[in-house]
C-alpha cells in the first residue's frame, strides 16, 4: 500500500478523509503505519457484532439504509468475506486505546490487480468508530 495515499487525493476527498481520521482519533493515516506495528491474532480483536456494524453504516451519514442492512446477506461485502476474498486481517492498538484493523481484499474484477486495503477503527466494546477503503467506492 502506498504511503502517499492521502497525499494523492483531490482536495475534497482529502478533507473528507482527514475528517474521518480525526473522528477516529487517528494521528496519521493508517496506510503510513510501519509494518512492524501490525499483529495477527484474531483473539485480540474486539467483539464486533451485527448491531455495531448496523449502527455505524445506518446511523452515520452514508449510502446504506435500514432496508439494505436487513438483507445483509445479499450485500456484496458479506459475500466477498464468505467467499474468501478477504485476506489475512491484522490489528494494532492506537494511543487512545482504539483497535485498528486492516486487511487486503482481492478485487472482484481484474483479479490480477493489487488488492484493496480497507481499515476499520473499533472501540474495545465493538462499536465501530470509522472505516475506509482505498477502492473506488471508498
pLDDT value of position 65: 55
Confidence (pLDDT) at 137: 60
Domain ranges of the chain: 6-132
Mean pLDDT by 10 residues, the chain (138 residues): 77 89 88 92 91 80 56 62 84 92 84 85 94 77
Looking at residue 64, what is its pLDDT? 53
Q: What pTM value is reported for the model?
A: 0.78
- Grid cell, residue 82, equals 464468505
**Residue-level pLDDT at 73:** 52
Q: What confidence score (pLDDT) does residue 71 get?
A: 54
Q: What is the pLDDT of residue 127?
A: 94
pLDDT of residue 126: 94
Amino acid at each position: 500500500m502506498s504511503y502517499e495515499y492521502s497525499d494523492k487525493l483531490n482536495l475534497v476527498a482529502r478533507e473528507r478523509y482527514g475528517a474521518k481520521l480525526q473522528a477516529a482519533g487517528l494521528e496519521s493515516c493508517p496506510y503510513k503505519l510501519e509494518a512492524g506495528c501490525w499483529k495477527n491474532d484474531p483473539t485480540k480483536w474486539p467483539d464486533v457484532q451485527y448491531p455495531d456494524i448496523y449502527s455505524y453504516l445506518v446511523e452515520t451519514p452514508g449510502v446504506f439504509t435500514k432496508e439494505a442492512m436487513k438483507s445483509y446477506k445479499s450485500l456484496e461485502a458479506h459475500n466477498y468475506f464468505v467467499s474468501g476474498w478477504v485476506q489475512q486481517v491484522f490489528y494494532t492498538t492506537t494511543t487512545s486505546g482504539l483497535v485498528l484493523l486492516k486487511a487486503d481484499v482481492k478485487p472482484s474484477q481484474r483479479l490480477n490487480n493489487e488488492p484493496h486495503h480497507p481499515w476499520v477503527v473499533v472501540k474495545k466494546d465493538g462499536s465501530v468508530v470509522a472505516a475506509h477503503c482505498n477502492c473506488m467506492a471508498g
